Chains A and B, each alone.
Chain A
């Protein structure tokens, strides 16, 4: 079962939107897309999740393509505190499988 595919690293200027892409071409119909982030060695922090509709909460927006094969996490106004490793995970009711994620560096 293939995991998702994310770029290993990205930079973003402080105050700009950070757009983190994720490819999940093998996603099943009942699998959600979850996004987490991990700052230093803290426990992973849940950000947002969705099935097929776009989602928004106080932290971020999630855009899922119509064919559900890819998605984009959007942090609308990145701050230095958003520097972290971001994980995109597809999953149903089974344990979530973490890949290596994208290391986002927000630059002043």
Chain B
């Protein structure tokens, strides 16, 4: 049972490049989330999806787009990467009123 799987684990981009962070869960959870964590800070919510076919903005959505491809997969896209988006990105999923389960994170550096 893999839980929440994030790919890639590490990525270095140049300013202006685009990329998509992938997240997949195998627990049949309805809700999925994307957070970012900057050094010394707590996690901040970027976007979330309460069910397949729906997405909503979180605290820090600017510069990102998301796609809930199906119940298993929730991707995060940076269309034009900026140095301020250098961070560790975590994906999570949960069943209703149950704890969120997190992936191991994607460490993204933008030069």
Chain A residues with a Cβ under 8 A of chain B = 32, 34, 41-46, 49, 87, 92-93, 95-101
Cβ < 8 Å to A, chain B residues 83-111: 88, 90, 92, 96-97, 99-105, 107
Chain B residues with a Cβ under 8 A of chain A = 4, 31, 33, 35, 37, 41-45, 48, 58, 88, 90, 92, 96-97, 99-105, 107
Which residues of B are found within 8 Å of A34, using beta-carbon distances?
99
Identify which of B43, B45, B104 contacts A42 (C-beta below 8 A).
Answer: B104
Contact indicator A101/B42 (Cβ below 8 Å): yes
Contact indicator B97/A44 (Cβ below 8 Å): no
Contact indicator A46/B33 (Cβ below 8 Å): no
Label chain B's interface by main secondary structure: strand
Which residues of B are found within 8 Å of A99, using beta-carbon distances?
42
Interface centre among B4, B99, B102 (most CB of A within 10 A): B99
A98-B104 in contact given A32-B97, A49-B99 (Cβ < 8 Å): no
Q: How far is the CA of A41 from the CA of B99 in the complex (A)?
A: 20
Assuming A44-B90, A46-B101, A93-B96, what are 9 further A-B pairs, CB within 8 angstroms? Answer: A41-B88, A42-B105, A43-B102, A46-B100, A95-B48, A95-B100, A96-B100, A98-B42, A99-B42
18 contacts between A and B (CB under 8 A): A32-B97, A41-B105, A42-B104, A43-B4, A43-B104, A44-B90, A45-B102, A46-B102, A49-B99, A93-B96, A95-B33, A95-B45, A95-B48, A98-B35, A98-B44, A99-B42, A100-B41, A100-B42
Give min CB distance, A97 to chain B, whole Å. Answer: 7
Which residues of A are found within 8 Å of B102, using beta-carbon distances?
43-46
5 nearest A-B pairs in the assembled complex, by CB-CB distance: A43-B102, A98-B42, A98-B43, A46-B99, A44-B102
